[in-house]
Amino acid sequence: MNLDIRTTMMIAAVLALIIGASLQFALRDYPASILPSIRLWVLGTLLLPTAWMLYGLRDNIPDFLSIVVANGLLGLAFAKQVEALRCFMGHPDNRVLIFAPVAAIVLCECLFTYAVPSMNLRGVTVSAIISAQLWCAVAALVEHGRPRHRSHLLTAAAFATLALALMGRVVNEVFQDQKLPAPFAPSPMQTVVFGLAAAFPIAGTLGFLLMCNDRLYQALARNQERLRAITDNLPTIVAHIDTNQRFTFANEYLGQLLGVNPEWIVGRTMLEVLGPTIYDEVKLHVSTVLRGDAVTFDMERNFRGEHRYFEASYVPDVESGHTVRGFYVLIFDISRLKHAELELARQAQHDNLTGLANRSKFDELLKRALARTERNGRSLGLLYIDIDHFKKINDTFGHAIGDAVLREFATRLEGSLRETDLAARLGGDEFAVLIEDINPSDAPENVARKLLAVLKRDFVVEEANLKISASIGIGVARGDTDAKSLLRRADSALYEAKAAGRNTYCVATVG
């Protein structure tokens, strides 16, 4: 069966026009890296119907337009598609390879239309040149050493099929005795060539689209690999959870904390992965983020015998229509920072040498204790303590020995107290003890006597046996008493103890 060549060309022109226009809008949002190739392919596809329409109007327009311009545009269309494929495959720009065939077609068409008129030679030269163009495209797609994807092979097959048909036409025209009487005269070879030419925009474009999609999938896979590599090496929990509270992504760190493979986590619910205890702690935050509001909160848990602190951020995953489709989980392990903060807070309220409360902590707790004393009507005892002749110890043995004496003194002091009592180092060799809820009334004196007793044992510091004693002033507050008054009376009692010969205590009552 022979096709009507003119009708076939018009149908092909309409198909190519529809395909080219559709591609122009469908692919405009593709990544910038492949947009140049897409633009070239669209241009080539749109040039095809222009050439075929001019060619189909052979009897109605001048020969220059229907022969020279039409075949020149046909060559340019295929040149642009070859350029699109070379650009897509990363080949360098080669203007000679692209435009030399177009120039050759125009030259041959002018030669065999006006100088040496020959329809047969026009058909042979145009078919040969375009066939060579198509083989350039095949070579770019199946270049040795490059990975061969199915989409590349499909596109190469479309170009190769049409190239073979054109080569067959050349052979047929050269060796056939009976020449075609007219350009659109039906014949088996004409039917094959023009039928494949009509189908080429569909087959070629399908292959090119598959190539673009393969590139997108490859880029997506590489991005996912990079994301996985980055998130798996962060000391941070990174996850995504959908609206059904099922994990769709979990990084390696979450798996390490839970002692499971991250792949096991994906597809399971938060309740299954975290357990009821942690889930109950975070479910209110989950409800908040699924309403579209980001939420940040702190939490602390024990993992594998280690107490850890975390800062969690739940960020909604919102589509363009403001529909929440899940949320991202970012949980930072702030244990080191938290421990550092706690240590700084401890150091701010404790003496670095002895570990006892410092003056700032003591003053704060004294005010609170006096307020409780006023409310409950009970007594409060305050011991002011100085180590006797401590300056002489420093001058004689050095500050290192003096520091060791202070640490040992603090240890014996704490050993003389109840669990509810507070010992503090106020500075130098000055110490204080706060005793709440005095019962019996001589409890501060009992502490003073106990301390003086434990101080009678020699202080052994670097093989030196030292005799250490202390003077103690005791202030007792009953009723409404302010801190300054109590401190002043305890300090006055301390000086009375020193005046009495040291290594003793004196008591002063306030209120």
Tokens representing residue 427 in the block: 């500075």
Dist. CA 324–CA 40, nearest whole Å: 39
Cα atoms found within 13 Å of the Cα of residue 429, Cβ hemisphere only:
21
Task: For tokens 């030292």, name the residue.
Answer: 466
Choosing from 63, 429, 437, 491, the catalytic residue is: 429
Q: What is the DSSP letter of 335?
A: H
- Candidates 494, 496, 476; CA nearest to 486 is 476
In angstroms, what CA-CA distances link 431 with 158, 214, 369, 385, 434?
95, 78, 18, 5, 10
CB proximity list for 331: less than 8 A, separation 6 or greater: 236, 237, 310, 311, 312, 313
DSSP-assigned beta bridge partners for residue 436: 380
DSSP-assigned beta bridge partners for residue 387: 470
SS3 20: helix
Gap between the terminal Cα atoms of the chain: 125
Dist. CA 375–CA 481, nearest whole Å: 12
SS3 333: strand
Where is 508: in which H helix or E strand?
strand 505-510
Measured in degrees and rounded to the nearest 5, phi and psi for residue 387 equal -75, 130
CB 95 within 8 A of CB 80: no
Q: What is the DSSP letter of 68?
A: I
Burial class of 436 by CB neighbour count within 10 A (0 to 12, 13 to 18, 19+):
buried
Q: Long-range pairs for 120-123 at CB < 8 Å and ≥24 separation? A: 120/173, 120/179, 120/180, 122/67, 122/71, 123/169, 123/173, 123/180, 123/183
- Candidates 140, 129, 141, 158; CA nearest to 45 is 158
**Number of residues assigned to the chain:** 511
Query: Is 429 an annotated catalytic residue?
Result: yes
Burial class of 68 by CB neighbour count within 10 A (0 to 12, 13 to 18, 19+):
buried
CB 131 within 8 A of CB 193: no
DSSP-assigned beta bridge partners for residue 331: 237, 312
Task: For tokens 């066939």, name the residue.
Answer: 131
Tokens representing residue 412 in the block: 């014996």
Dist. CA 350–CA 366, nearest whole Å: 15
DSSP-assigned beta bridge partners for residue 299: 310
Dist. CA 424–CA 385, nearest whole Å: 10
Catalytic residues: 429
